[in-house]
Chain A
Amino acid sequence: MSMPSGSVPSASQGSVIAPRDAPADRPADAPNITAPDDVLRVDGLHVRVGELELLSDVDLTVRRGERVGLIGESGSGKSLTALSIMGLLAESLVPSGSIAVTGQDGRHTQVVGAAESDLAALRGRDVTMIFQEPMTALNPTMRVGAQVAEVMRIHRTVPDRHTAAARAVELLDRVGLPDPAEAARAYPHQLSGGQRQRVVVAMALANDPALLICDEPTTALDVTVQALVLDLIVRGVEARNAGMLFITHDLAVVASVCERVLVMYGGRVVEAGDVQQVFTRPRHRYTRGLIGASDLDLTRDDGRLYTIQGSVPSAGRFPHGCVFRNRCIHATIECESLPRWEGTGPEDGFACWHPVRVHDSQGVDAS
């Protein structure tokens, strides 16, 4: 699946395409310059390990106050994208391309190739992250209050230890933990999964980040708790006018939380667009399959649920050309070459040789 970078779809190449009200004093087509309200701009991100290409030409923008979803099956490169943005890739993984982050104070950081000290200043302050597993995301040997206080002490966003401790209790209160002073003294094992995830949310919001990355933040929680935690995250992000990148394979969650969505498969963005549009009128065959598979009311003629045939290949086993073609019932010989990106820009479009047309959007691909 290793592609020469020259063959990337031209429409997705790094120029400011987004048709929105840009300030007049900004050059309209200056490449790789972050727009004033962009908190994250990823341009042509590739991640390689040796000869293997794990991420190919990922373009992604998150603006201030905007909530963007990143969906796809496990192994499609979502978490890798998140770790790249944090600059937390393992040593053996080599990123290339551009990841520009703008902090709350307007400071720009280019993550790819940044020094570790610059990244440390970025992480936890400009960009924070909520992980999937609340059971393991907290240090079992530290009181949770101390852990919340720690993230503020690291970046000196509070003047001293006492202020940090007081603010930690305040944050725990804000995320809805009953008796926050007591909770601050608790160890993680004394809290329930939902409470722990609330602590994680408090830690992620403690420094008023410009961008919050959520990697499946509610997957490990009970459904009853999920909605509460989601609401908490969304309110926290809204209050700070922060951008949010929301990674999940739960389409219903994306539909309720995000405004825009990107669909990833095989380390590529295969479709992007407005949530409403992508979910009601998917164009890429993979997106269509995902939506069909997640709709439990929809059954095939034989009464069984729709599925996408086969399973996600392991990294490096994706076919060349269209990465989805070995699982796609519409694949033809044409799909052996890389489909062009069709659409108005990286924020709205798809890459498929045989897109779902409007007239057959009523049914679902039988597979």
Chain B
Amino acid sequence: MTSPSWRGPSWRRGAGTSSGFSRLATGLLPAGAHRSRAAVSATIAVGGGIVGLIVAVGLLSLVWTPYDPGAIDPTSRLQISSGAHWLGTDKFGRDVLSLIMAGSRTTLVVGVVAVGVAAIVGVPLGILSAMVPKWWGEVIMRANDLLLAFPALLLAIMLTAVQGQGVVTAMIAIGIASIPSFARVVRSGAIGVMKTEYVLAARAAGRRPWAIALRHVLPNVMNLVIVQASVSFAIAVLAEAALSYLGLGAPPGTASWGRMLQEGQELLFVAPRLEVFPGVAIALAVLGFNLLGDGLRDRYDPRLRDGR
């Protein structure tokens, strides 16, 4: 997908945001050292626009697609773009536009659940590691590093062997692989929050640790969580496509961009558009979430505000 020597997107240069899947992720913006406020706003607007478009398409596909995305029609196989089929049909005669529209749903659902799993486990872990005595925090983070070092693809294959192929397996695998990046980002933020006077004041007011975590630390690391969620979402989109392409994700019959790539592969020279359209969809989704994440980070991450 990308050459390993390629310089990663800006979020990979931040401490501990890379996960196993991020090694598969394409960086699309060689982010400059500094971007002006207007440029940051534009980044957020473009990223948000793309993300909004994908979400809108996904919602629309629930109620309307030009054709039934699963309907096989042997009489109209491998047609090129036409008025009837805007993006043509695949080798089974299915409408490509309908498949891409329905595929966005898979992408979004996998992304939401995977990021949700990662955040629900990673955020408390990060906060916990910042609040327990230093020694225990180190233990948690080293365990976290262990998970980070574990190849995500291997994890997905293992889970598939146990659970069987399916979207749920893919979601869990991607989610688990994304935990470390959440834990690290939140830990670094939470350590900063724990040093603030309002946490000291809360302790001086007799607040118990769990209440401080919930009411003082969590709300003040939420900006980091949101940025990380957006970045992880981009990684999850790519990971879902990769897993489905390898046959570890969406099963046959489920509309998925990665599956479409795999099914069109053998016809690459006959009908290259069967690779191009889902490929563009994936690239667009990753671009959108990356831009959004980059923009949000540039705006809200104080560590990047002045100098790197």
The one of B133, B196, B206 that contacts A121, using a Cβ cutoff of 8 Å: B206
State the CA gap A41–B200 with chains docked (Å): 23
Is there a chain B Cβ closer than 8 Å to A155's Cβ? yes
Q: Could you mark each residue 109-151 of chain B with 1 if its beta carbon is under 8 Å from any beta carbon of chain A, else 0?
A: 0000000000000000000000001100000000000000000
- A140 cross-chain contacts in B, Cβ below 8 A: 198, 220
- A120 cross-chain contacts in B, Cβ below 8 A: 206-208
The one of B134, B204, B211 that contacts A129, using a Cβ cutoff of 8 Å: B204
Report the nearest A residue to B218, measured CB to CB.
A141
- B219 cross-chain contacts in A, Cβ below 8 A: 139, 141-142
Cross-chain contact B203 with A125 (CB below 8 angstroms):
no
- A119 cross-chain contacts in B, Cβ below 8 A: 206
Closest chain A CB from B65 CB (angstroms): 42
- From residue 1 to 57 of chain A, which have CB atoms closer than 8 A to chain B? none
Report the nearest B residue to A152, measured CB to CB.
B205
Is there a chain A Cβ closer than 8 Å to B201's Cβ? yes
Cross-chain contact B205 with A151 (CB below 8 angstroms):
yes
If over half of B's interface residues share one DSSP class (helix, strand or loop), that class is named, otherwise mixed; here it is: helix
- The residue in A91, A120, A138, A139 that gathers the most chain B C-beta atoms within 10 A of its C-beta is A139
- A91 cross-chain contacts in B, Cβ below 8 A: 133-134
Cross-chain contact B198 with A139 (CB below 8 angstroms):
yes
State the CA gap A91–B209 with chains docked (Å): 15
State the CA gap A129–B201 with chains docked (Å): 7
Cross-chain contact A136 with B205 (CB below 8 angstroms):
no
Is there a chain A Cβ closer than 8 Å to B306's Cβ? no
State the CA gap A124–B205 with chains docked (Å): 4
Report the nearest B residue to A126, measured CB to CB.
B206
Closest chain A CB from B137 CB (angstroms): 12
- B204 cross-chain contacts in A, Cβ below 8 A: 86, 88, 123-124, 128-129, 131
The one of A122, A131, A138 that contacts B206, using a Cβ cutoff of 8 Å: A122
- From residue 76 to 99 of chain A, which have CB atoms closer than 8 A to chain B? 86, 88, 91
Closest chain A CB from B106 CB (angstroms): 35
Known: A131-B197, A150-B207. 4 other contacts (CB 8 A): A124-B204, A124-B207, A136-B198, A203-B205
The 10 closest A-B pairs by CB, nearest first: A124-B205, A124-B206, A141-B219, A123-B206, A136-B197, A129-B204, A137-B197, A139-B198, A151-B205, A120-B206
Would you give 6 A-B contacts (Cβ < 8 Å), ordered by A?
Answer: A91-B133, A119-B206, A120-B206, A137-B201, A150-B207, A150-B215
